[in-house]
A and B are shown apart, each in its own frame.
Chain A
Amino acid sequence: MDSKGSACSNPNPNPTFGPSKLMLAFRFLRALSIVHRTTPASSPTCRGRRIERAAYASMAYSAGTSRAWSRAVLRRLHHRARRRAVAPRRLSTTAGNRAEALRRLVPGGAGMDYCTLLEETADYTKCLSMQVELMQGIVDSASSNGR
C-alpha cells in the first residue's frame, strides 16, 4: 500500500533549495500520521517497517525525480508495494570493492558510472541526513513532551 505521501504533485515552489527540509518534513509528517492511523496497533514491527518506508518515500518525493537515487527509491517502493520494504543491504567493504559497496548502498547506484555515483551519493547523503534529523527531532520532541 502506497499511502505514504505518494501521488501528489510536488507543491514545492522553491526551486532554489536543493533538498528542501520543509517539504521533507511536510511529507514525512503526513505520511507518518497516515501510518499511525492505518496500522493496527497489534503489529508494531509492521508499523516500524511502514514508517521506514514512509521515510524513504518522503525523502524521494521531496528530492524530486531529477535524481537517479530518488527515482530508484520510488521505483522500488512502487514495485514492492506488497512486499516488505527491504532495508538496504549493508555489505562489508573490501579493499578493492569500495565502489561496489557504494553502489549497493545508494539506491540506483548499480547502473551509473563512478562519477555520477559520487554525485548521487552526495545528494543521497544530504537527504538522508535531513531525514534523520527530522525523525530524531520528532522522536525527541514527542518523548520530551510526553509525560
Chain B
Amino acid sequence: MQPSSREMQGMAGSMNGGISRSSAVAQIALRELQNGHGGQQIPNSVPQASFDHGASGHDDFLDQMLSSLPSSWAELGNLKTPWDPPEAGQRLFSAGLAGESSPEEPSAAAAEGMRYPLYDESSLLANRLRQHQISGGSSPNGKGMMVHLDHQSQQQMLLPSLGRSPVASGDSGLLPLPLTLGTGGYDVDAPFKSLNPTGGEGLFNGLGGPLQRAQSAFGHPQGGASMPSQNFTAAAGAAAGGVGQAASASASASASAGGGTGPPRQKVRARRGQATDPHSIAERLRRERIADRMKALQELVPNANKTDKASMLDEIIDYVKFLQLQVKVLSMSRLGGAAAVAPLVADISSEGQGGAGSGGANSSGDSLTVTEHQVAKLMEEDMGSAMQYLQGKGLCLMPISLASAISTATACPPRPPSSSSLSSAGAGHLGHGILPGGLHPPNLTGDAPASPGVSALTAQSAMANGGAEAAKEAVTVSKA
C-alpha cells in the first residue's frame, strides 16, 4: 500500500493537468484506498473517461474505497444541493446507500454527474462508485474517476473537476473522488480520520476536501492550488459544519474556478494540505469579530440605528468625514481675531498661589503677581489682548481643573522648574469656562498630597524644554 501510494503521489505530483495521468493516479489512489480499507467491497472499476490503462488493477482499490463510504453516502443522500444531481446519480446514490452491490452502472449517470458542481461531485462520486460496484465492471465511459489518495498525506488530492466543464471535455468525465484515508501525517487527513470513526462524515469530509483540491489542482495546474484549497476548505467546512452550506460554498468555489483559468490563490495552502476545518472555523471567527467591531462602531457613531450593514458603513464613513471636516473648519476659524490669536492663558493652580515651583521663587512670584494683575486688567477690557499679553509671556490659560490635573498627571520631575506665573484669582473663574464639555480631567489632585502652589502651564516649556526659556516663562511645576 505504501509504495503504491507513493508512486501515486509521485504521479500526482508530476501530473500537470494530464487527465490521463490523473486518471491513472486516481485509479491508483482508489486502489490505495481499497487497500487501506482492507478489502471492503468496493467497485472494481472506476469509471473513467480516459482510463485506458490499468483500470482493472485499480478496481479493488476502488472497491475498498467504496466500501468504506457507504455510510457517508448515506449522509450525502440527505444533503440538499442547490443543483439537482442527475437523476441517475440520485438513483444510484440511493442504490449505493442501500448497500447492495449491483454493479450495473449506467455510465450516463456518471456522465451527467460530471457537469455538476463540486458538491454534487462528491455525491456523484459516491454514486459512481456505487454504480461501479453495481456494474462490477470497469468500463470508464467518458467519466474518469480519478482519485489521488494520499496516504502519506503529502500530496494534494488531484481530482478532475466535474463542475468544470470548460476544463476539458474529456476531462469533465472524470469524477472527482477525493478520498483521504490518511494513514500518514496528512494534515488534511487528520480531521477526516478523526471523523472516520463516526462513519460517513469522515469519509465525506475526506471526499469533499480532497475532491475540490484535486479537481482544482487537476484542472488548473497553475492556479489549481487556490481552487483546491478553497474547495477543500469549503468541503471541509461542509463536513464540519453542515453539508449544505459547505456544498454551496464548495460548489460556488468550484464553479468559479471552473469558470475561468482559476487565479492562483492559496496555492501553498492546498499543497501543504492544511486542514479545511480550521479554515471554515476561522472564517466564522472572522465574521464574528467583524460583527463585534461593527457593533462597537455603532455605539460611537450617532444615528447608528441602521440595521443594514451597508448603510451602517455609510454612516460611519460619513461621520468620519464630518469629523475631519470639523477639524479643518475649527482650525481655520482660529485665524485672526482675538479668539484665534491667543486662545489660551495659563491657569493657576486651584490650590491657590502656593509659590513658585522650584525655581526663582521670589522674583517669579513677584512677576507672577504683576503678570496676574496685568492679565486681569487686560481681561476686563479685551480678552484678546489679555491673551496676547499672556502669550507674549509664554503663558497659556487653561481651566484650573485641567491645569491641576495635568500637573498631577504629568508628575515628571524633569520639568524645568522655572518661575511659575500664576494668577489664581484671575484665571480661576475664567478657567472653568474655557474647556467645557468634553474635558473632565480625572481628579488626580488626590494623588499629590503636596499640592503644588503653582501649576502654570506654558505651552512650550511645559515639557522639559530648554531651561533658558523657562526662566522667562511660566513653567508647569509638577507636584511630585
A interface, CB within 8 angstroms of B = 8, 11-14, 17, 21-23, 25-26, 29-34, 36-37, 41, 44-45, 47-49, 51-52, 54-56, 87-88, 90, 93, 95, 98-99, 101-102, 105-106, 114-115, 118-119, 121-122, 124-126, 128-147
Q: Is the CB of A22 within 8 A of B290?
A: no
Beyond A37-B391, A132-B330, is A141–B435 a contact (Cβ under 8 Å)?
yes
Interface string of B316-339 (1 = CB under 8 A from A): 110111011111101111111111
| Residues of B in contact, count (CB < 8 Å) | 71
Whether the pair A102, B383 counts as a contact (CB closer than 8 A) is no
**B97 at interface by CB-CB < 8 Å:** no
Tell me whether B343 is interfacial, beta carbon within 8 Å: yes
A44 touches B336 (CB 8 A): yes
Partner of B297, one of A29, A125, A133: A125
Q: List 15 A-B contacts (CB under 8 A).
A: A13-B411, A21-B441, A22-B406, A25-B435, A32-B459, A47-B335, A48-B332, A51-B331, A52-B331, A105-B320, A134-B435, A137-B434, A137-B435, A141-B436, A142-B340
- B314 contacts chain A at the CB level, 8 A cutoff: yes
Given A30-B462, A33-B459, A135-B326, 10 extra CB contacts under 8 A: A11-B409, A12-B410, A25-B435, A25-B439, A33-B344, A33-B458, A37-B460, A119-B293, A138-B334, A141-B433
Whether A48 contacts B335 in the complex (CB less than 8 A), given A33-B459, A34-B459, A125-B300, comes out as: yes
**A11 lies within 8 A of B412 (CB):** yes
Query: Which residues of B sit under 8 angstroms from A106, Cβ to Cβ?
Result: 320
The 8 A-B pairs of least Cβ separation, nearest first, read: A33-B459, A133-B438, A118-B293, A146-B383, A51-B331, A142-B339, A52-B331, A44-B335
Inter-chain contact A137/B438, CB cutoff 8 Å: yes
In the bound complex, residues from chain B placing their C-beta under 8 Å from that of A54 are 331
A33 and B338 within 8 A (CB): no
CA distance A131 to B337 in the complex (A): 22
Q: Is the CB of B441 within 8 A of A22?
A: yes
The yes or no answer to B405 lying at the interface (CB within 8 A) is yes
Task: Check A139 against B314 for contact (C-beta < 8 Å).
Answer: no
Given A125-B319, A145-B430, A139:B297 Cβ within 8 A:
no
Cβ–Cβ < 8 Å partners of B458 in chain A: 33
* CB of B468 closer than 8 Å to a CB of A: no
Assess A135 versus B327: contact at CB under 8 Å? Given A47-B335, A93-B314, A147-B383: yes
- Known contacts: A25-B435, A141-B433. The answer to whether A125 contacts B301 by CB under 8 A is yes
Across-interface contacts of A56 in B (CB, < 8 A): 327
Q: Are A139 and B398 in contact (CB under 8 A)?
A: no
- Residue contact A136 to B330, C-beta cutoff 8 Å: yes
Q: Which B-chain residue is minimally distant from A11 (CB atoms)?
A: B410
Rounded to whole Å, the gap between the CB of A38 and the closest CB of chain B is: 9
Across the interface, name the chain A residue whose C-beta is closest to B318: A93
Set B296, B325, B384, B442: member contacting A146, Cβ < 8 A: B384
Shortest CB-to-CB span from B333 to chain A, Å, is 6
CB distance from A42 to the nearest CB of B (A): 11
Q: Do B412 and A128 touch across chains, with their CB atoms under 8 A apart? A: no
Question: In the complex, what residues of B have CB within 8 A of residue A30's CB?
Answer: 396, 457, 459-460, 462-463
Q: How far is the CA of A88 from the CA of B328 in the complex (A)?
A: 10
Q: Which residue of B lies closest to A10 (CB)?
A: B410
Q: In this assembly, does B289 line the interface, its C-beta being within 8 Å of a C-beta of chain A?
A: yes
Q: How far is the CA of A105 from the CA of B319 in the complex (A)?
A: 10
How many Å lie between the Cα of A25 and that of B401 in the bound state?
A: 12
Tell me whether A29 and B396 are in contact (CB under 8 A): yes
The answer to whether B351 has its CB under 8 Å from any CB of chain A is no
Chain A residues whose C-beta falls within 8 Å of the C-beta of B1 in the assembled complex:
none
Using A118-B293, A121-B297, A147-B382 as known contacts, say yes or no to A105 and B324 having CB atoms under 8 A apart. yes
Contact residue among A22, A144, A147 (Cβ-Cβ distance under 8 Å from B384): A147
In the bound complex, CA of A29 to CA of B391 (Å): 12
- How far is the CB of B186 from the nearest CB of chain A, in Å? 29
The CA of A12 and the CA of B398, in the complex, are separated in Å by 18
Tell whether, in the assembled complex, residue B297 and residue A105 are in contact, meaning their CB atoms are under 8 Å apart: no
B286 interface residue per 8 A CB criterion: yes
B313 within 8 A of A: yes
Chain A residues with CB under 8 Å of B398's CB are 25, 29
Given contacts A14-B442, A130-B438, contact A101 B317 (CB under 8 A): yes
Does B310 make an interface contact (CB < 8 A)? yes
Once the chains bind, are A131 and B320 in contact (CB under 8 Å)?
no
Contact of B343 among A34, A41, A93, A138 (CB under 8 A): A138
Residue B348 at the chain A interface, CB threshold 8 Å: no
B449 within 8 Å of A by Cβ?
no
Q: Is the CB of A118 within 8 A of B331?
A: no
Give chain A nearest CB distance to B417 CB in angstroms.
Answer: 15
Decide if A126 touches B330 in the complex (CB within 8 Å). no
A contact residues around B383 at 8 Å (CB):
142, 145-147
Query: Is B65 part of the binding interface, using a Cβ–Cβ cutoff of 8 Å?
Result: no
B442 to chain A, nearest CB (A): 7
Chain A residues whose CB sits within 8 angstroms of the CB of B457 once the complex forms: 26, 29-30
- CA A88 to CA B323, docked complex, whole Å: 11
